[in-house]
Amino acid sequence: MYNFNYHRPTSIDEAVKQYDEAEDGQYLAGGHTLIPTMKQRLSAPTDLIDLSGIKAMQGITRSDDGAEKMLQIGALARHEEVASSPIVKSMVPVLSALAGGIGDAQVRNRGTLGGSVANCDPAADYPAAVLGLNAQLVTNRRSLDAEQFFMGMFETALDEGELLTSVHFPRPEAAAYVKFPNPASRYALVGLLVAKTNDGVRVAVTGAAPAVFRAAAMEAALTDDFSVSALDSILLPAGDMNSDMHASAEYRAHLCTVMAQRAVAAIVAQDQARARQVTSEVTSESTS
Ligand SMILES: Cc1cc2nc3c(=O)[nH]c(=O)nc-3n(C[C@H](O)[C@H](O)[C@H](O)COP(=O)(O)OP(=O)(O)OC[C@H]3O[C@@H](n4cnc5c(N)ncnc54)[C@H](O)[C@@H]3O)c2cc1C
């Protein structure tokens, strides 16, 4: 690792100023990606701006955004915090399940939502939730739709020095995330989120291609018929998929269909459980 200057700002403005004044600055969140690349001398920032002291980028809250209730998560929220938060569990339970499946306990206790999303690793889990749930990404300069944010492999719409400060998730009617993890790292070989939202059915896929994407063919089939069998004949084109030592493009394309069918089965089971609960509440009210 090369020498660098270390800064620990306590406000967003101070962090951005330190970045602007540095010769080659880098923001540091959980450090789980940045520190190993520095150790390998693949990255050599002159200045590290440690975000961990910025209160305005922490915390998980419920907010009213017009008519809609939004789940607002600070960019510095660690994966474990999201996995165990009662607010996340009650508003967007799919997000706590997704965060609880990232890496291992050490990774979940250091890695942050903002670091994961800003880094835009093609195999990261969160991008599927951000795109699949139609989240808003808030920076020190603007608010971006998920569709605008993810540009390609390790590439986002964030400009030089722009700081992601929070991510706002609308509450879906129902959603499920299923991934086929790499057995060593737990990163997604394929991770797929299906959501029933105000906007219709959304399907977002991570791990399979250079960047997270929406599977339009699956969304159309599920809009017509929200069932596991609706996806039987849908195979996403292998030509668009990654191929590496972990899995071929054809295998990833096949996994997309299997993961989508498992996610739909999970949502159908959630719907049936809710319907049973309503029936039993009505029955107990009418007999009391
Ligand atoms: C062994 C291992 C297993 C893992 N398994 C998984 C897995 O199964 N699924 C998964 O999704 N992830 C996995 N990860 C990734 C991990 O969970 C983190 O999400 C990831 O390392 C990035 O988050 P971080 O907070 O550590 O960011 P850092 O390493 O601190 O930063 C990463 C990059 O993002 C930039 N950055 C950070 N925060 C911001 C911000 N708020 N605004 C703008 N730029 C910012 C930094 O400057 C840097 O360029 C794994 C990592 C390891 C080491």
The two domains 5-54 and 58-275 share their CATH topology (first three levels equal): no
Q: pLDDT tens track of the chain, all 288 residues?
A: 899 999 999 999 999 999 999 999 999 999 999 999 999 999 999 999 999 999 999 999 998 766 667 999 999 999 999 999 999 999 999 999 999 999 999 999 999 999 999 999 999 999 999 999 999 999 999 999 999 999 999 999 999 999 999 999 999 999 999 999 999 989 999 999 999 998 899 999 999 999 999 999 999 999 999 999 999 999 999 999 999 999 999 999 999 999 999 999 999 999 888 888 888 777 777 776
112 alpha carbon to ligand 1 midpoint, in Å? 6
The rounded distance, in Å, linking the Cα atoms of 266 and 169 is 21
Distance 277 CA to ligand 1 centre (A): 39
Q: Does residue 29 line the site of ligand 1, with CB under 6 A?
A: yes
Give yes or no for a contact between 134 and 197, defined as CB atoms under 8 angstroms apart.
Answer: yes
> How far does residue 229's CA lie from ligand 1's centre (Å)?
36
| Answer CATH for 5-54 from 3.30.56.10, 1.10.540.10, 3.30.43.10, 3.30.160.270 | 3.30.43.10
Q: Print burial letters for 112-133: b (CB count within 10 Å at least 16), e (below 16).
A: bbbbbbbbbbbbbbbbbbbbbb
Which numeric CATH code is attached to 58-275? 3.30.465.10
Residue with tokens 């929070």, as numbered in its chain: 166
Residue 33 Cβ inside 6 Å of ligand 1? The answer reads yes
DSSP 52-88: GG-GGG--EEEEEETTEEEEEEETT-BHHHHHH-HHH
118 Cβ closer than 6 Å to some ligand 1 atom:
yes
Cα(283) to ligand 1 centroid in Å equals 49
Q: Is 153 helix (H, G, I), strand (E, B) or coil?
A: coil
Give the closest residue (by CA) to ligand 1 atom 10: 124
Rounded distance from Cα 117 to ligand 1 centre (Å): 8
Question: How do the domains of the chain map onto residue ranges?
Answer: 5-54, 58-275
DSSP letter (8 states) at residue 240: G
Does 124 sit in the ligand 1 pocket, CB within 6 Å?
Answer: yes
